[in-house]
Amino acid sequence: MSAAGVLLLAGGGHSHALVLKRWAMQPERRPPQSIILINRTSTALYSGMVPGLIAGLYQRDELAIDLRQLCDRAGVAFVEAEITELNPQQNWLRVRDRPALHFDWLSLDVGAVSRPSAIGMPIKPLEASLTFLEREDPWDTKPLRVIGAGAAGLEVVFALRRRWPQRALELQQRPGQLDPTLQRVLRQARIALIDDDSQPRGPSLLCTGSQGPAWLATAGLPLDPDGRIRTDRCLRVDGHPSLFASGDCAVISAAPRPASGVWAVRAGRPLANNLEAACRGEPLHPWQPQRQALQLIGSHLDAAWAQWGGWRLGPSPLLWQFKQRIDRAFMAGFQRPAAMADAAPMACRGCAAKLPAQPLAAALDRVGLGGQPEDAARLDDHSGLLQSMDGFPALVSDPWLNGRMTALHACSDLWACGAAVSSAMTTITLPLVSAKEQQELLVQTLAGIRSVLDEQGAELIGGHTMESRSATPVPASLGVQITLTVNGDSPQSPLLKSGLQPGDALLISRPLGTGVLFAGAMSGATKAADLDAALQTMTCSQHTLLEQIEPMRDGIHACTDITGFGLLGHLGEMLQNCPRLTIELNGSAIPAYPGALELFERGISSSLAPSNRAAWRWLEGLVQLQQTPSAALLELLVDPQTCGPLLLACNREAATQLTQSGPWIQIGSATAGHE
């Protein structure tokens, strides 16, 4: 059992990223308590390379620190959610649309936001301002004005000149703020210098300084005039011994430094030292940050200035090359070491953890339970009542999200029968941790399950909890296992897997590829953006598809959901009692999640895929591909799915209506086979 207590890392800023990197590389340093990182996005942008991103020199993934992957390596649970409130007296952090997170120690590295202004798009948060710039027309005749001529404003306006060689640009300074050398470079770059605060004639970008997030102001913490949290030299919040803060949201009271990525990076090691000491009950160590920091500021050409306090050198191409080397080396430090990437693949979680089809079928036959499989069972004497059961080991380390996905996956069995979910019961097995942590894991898990049921007007009517007797994983939240029994009502006869008819069109409701994406994530091969895209779809309920299906129910002859056995395995179940039918699949029409096919091409697959490949035998007879399949497509056909798509067979009229009014894609058709 791990040491009691929870260390909550709020925010994925540079300091926390470096702390996680340290624990990933040196796991013996990681505190023995349960540790959670919460951030509003799964990646954090390295600020030193943002101007290069704006200029078009970098792709976004080149400067995006993959926090989810970093947490996996460090043995830390990751929660993607937006923080809305902090109560340091009662030790909880409230997040949007889910239960509060409780903590024993809290470290804040939540960054800063631009100071509010009546005009201009704030440069921070970066995600919103980057989207704003992507939507701007490079040929717009109206000038874009950068308001603020500090280091950030200068870098941004020069980056914009490189991005848009022809568009009119303006930089608004305080009167006399910039010296003649900088003014000359601005003129050479055709950037107009504005000395007043006149109303911009076009869009504007606000780079006039930053402050702490608004919710910090209501937390009762000691703040400086910019809303930054005051700490001592140990990075401990003044008057709050179990709270720490660093990065742009914090300032050392006895050694104030401006908000800057330089000091956020420098704070990484002392923060890690003191978090480790605090969790182990050891003395803390004060940190004295340097008084000045070297700033390298890029120009619109391949050159940069070096600035140290009031001293400046450049612009120089050598300094630009030096800056690029520093930035790329910083990001390279977050890549998974080759030894870890090449390690033996781990067993996959989610629905990929189910028993392979062959031993399952053999066991069922031996006890007289073989026959045509269906997604749900109709209860005797209750013709409209259906019941099903599903569950799996935790797929992700966020217990709320895991509860939601498990519930969605279980409900899918009833949706595949055309039934609306009315109630559910659950069995939850919790890891062997302290009672307080078990309570928090149970709260988050149940809330995730209820988020799915509430959307459908269904109830959680009961359940059971157990404590695991197996070794507790790190993080402990991966030790949560959920099983759900779901009940539903079907006003008509339920849709079955076995009702295929000649001429039926085969429609699928969402892409395939979740198995390989999560398998790749365990080795660091899956791109953060690709996993984010898959999770966004996976966590959306498909119960609304029943409303589309109902008006044309008579034209729908069979339906199932694609789960652990993959598309081919479930097609095989649909064909099991239809020997005179053949299915023709259009491989080019089968949708895949972004990144999935690329991972297959690299030889990555789910740990359930080898046994699922037995379903390729269907391609030798009853299932025909219209094109010669690629190796990646063959793997996609047997990839195990969690929260996968519905697959239905319907007549052409229903197919036309469904593909025109919903997410459905036709991937094939059923034809009469040969005698």
Indicate the DSSP class of residue 353.
Answer: G
Residue 380: is its pLDDT beyond 80? no
Residue 560 has pLDDT above 50, yes or no: yes
Choose the weakest-confidence range: 128-137, 244-253, 351-360: 351-360
Sequence-separated (6 or more) residues with CB below 8 Å from residue 385: 378, 379, 487, 488, 489
Q: What residues form DSSP beta bridges with 10?
A: 38, 108
pLDDT given for residue 675 in this prediction: 45
Q: Average pLDDT in the 210-231 region?
A: 93
pTM of the model: 0.92
What's the rounded mean pLDDT across residues 245-268? 89
- Asked if the model's pLDDT at residue 578 lies above 70, the reply is yes
CB atoms within 10 A of CB 443: 18
DSSP states along 413-443: HHHTTT-EEEEEEEEEEE-SS-HHHHHHHHH
Contact 135, 203 (CB under 8 A): no
Residue owning tokens 């704003």: 132
**Which residues make Cβ contacts (< 8 Å) with residue 661, sequence separation at least 6?**
548
Contact, 246 vs 15, CB < 8 A?
A: yes
How confident is the model over 631-657, as pLDDT tens digits?
999 999 999 999 999 999 999 999 999
| Residue-wise pLDDT tens digits, 498-524 | 889 999 999 999 999 999 999 999 989
- H helices within 100-205, ranges in order? 126-135, 151-163, 180-188
Query: Could you give the 3-state DSSP secondary structure of residue 254?
Result: coil
Per-residue pLDDT, averaged over 214-241, amounts to: 94
DSSP character at residue 333: T
Residue 440 has phi, psi (to 5 degrees) of: -65, -40
Evaluate whether 538 touches 531 at the Cβ level (below 8 Å): no
Report the range of poorest mean pLDDT among 111-125, 303-317, 377-391, 492-506: 377-391
- Identify the residue whose tokens are 């970066």: 126
Range name among 387-401, 498-512, 567-581 with the lowest pLDDT average: 567-581
Give the end-to-end CA distance of the chain in Å, rounded to a whole number.
63
Joined together, the tokens standing for residue 554 give 């008579």
Q: What values do phi and psi take at 430, rounded to 5?
A: -105, 150
| Spatial contact of 515 and 654, defined as CB atoms under 8 Å apart | no
The whole-number average pLDDT for the span 274-284 is: 96
Averaged pLDDT of the chain: 91
462-484 tens-digit pLDDT: 999 999 999 999 999 999 999 99
Give me the pLDDT at residue 187, please. Answer: 92
In this predicted structure, the answer to whether residue 423 has a pLDDT above a threshold of 80 is yes
pLDDT at 396 over 80: yes
Residue 590: is its pLDDT beyond 50?
yes
Q: Largest Cα–Cα distance in the chain?
A: 91
Question: What DSSP string describes 549-582?
Answer: HGGGGGGEEEEEE--TTHHHHHHHHHHTT-TTEE
Q: What is the mean pLDDT of residues 331-342?
A: 73
Per-residue confidence band for 595, with pLDDT thresholds at 50, 70 and 90: very high
In angstroms, the CA 445 to CA 477 distance is 10
At residue 179 the predicted structure's pLDDT band, cuts being 50, 70 and 90, is confident
Tell me the average pLDDT across 229-258. Answer: 94
| Rounded average pLDDT over 189-208 | 90
Q: Of all residues in the chain, what percent carry a pLDDT higher than 90?
A: 72
Residue 372 scores a pLDDT above 70: no
598: buried, middle or exposed (CB in 10 Å: 19+, 13-18, 0-12)? middle
Please report which confidence band the pLDDT of residue 354 belongs to, taking 50, 70 and 90 as the band edges.
Answer: low
- Asked if pLDDT for residue 341 goes beyond 80, the answer is no
Sorting pLDDT into bands at 50, 70 and 90, what band is 383?
low
Q: Residue 383, Cα to own-chain centre: how many angstroms?
A: 41
Residue reference for tokens 């649309």: 97
In 3D space, the residue among 524, 186, 162 whose CA is nearest the CA of residue 337 turns out to be 524
Cβ neighbours for 510, distance < 8 A, ≥ 6 positions apart: 537, 542, 591, 644, 645, 663
Count helices and strands in the chain by DSSP H and E runs: 21, 33
Amino acid at 295: Q
Average confidence (pLDDT) over 91-117: 93
Nearest to 472 by CA among 438, 444, 440, 446: 438
| Residue range 54-69: mean pLDDT, rounded | 94
Rounded distance, CA 611 to CA 597, Å? 19
Q: Which helix (H) or strand (E) holds 506?
A: strand 505-508
- Interatomic CA distance for residues 482 and 390, integer angstroms: 8
Residue 664: what are its φ and ψ, rounded to 5°? -70, 140
Q: What is the mean pLDDT of residues 426-450?
A: 96
Whether 413 shows a pLDDT value over 70: the answer reads: yes
3-state secondary structure of 303: coil
**Residue 405 in contact with residue 393, Cβ under 8 Å?**
no
So what's the pLDDT on residue 651? 96
3-state secondary structure 218-248: HCCCCECCCCCEEECCCCEECCCCCEEECHH
Minimum mean pLDDT range among 168-177, 288-297, 640-649: 288-297
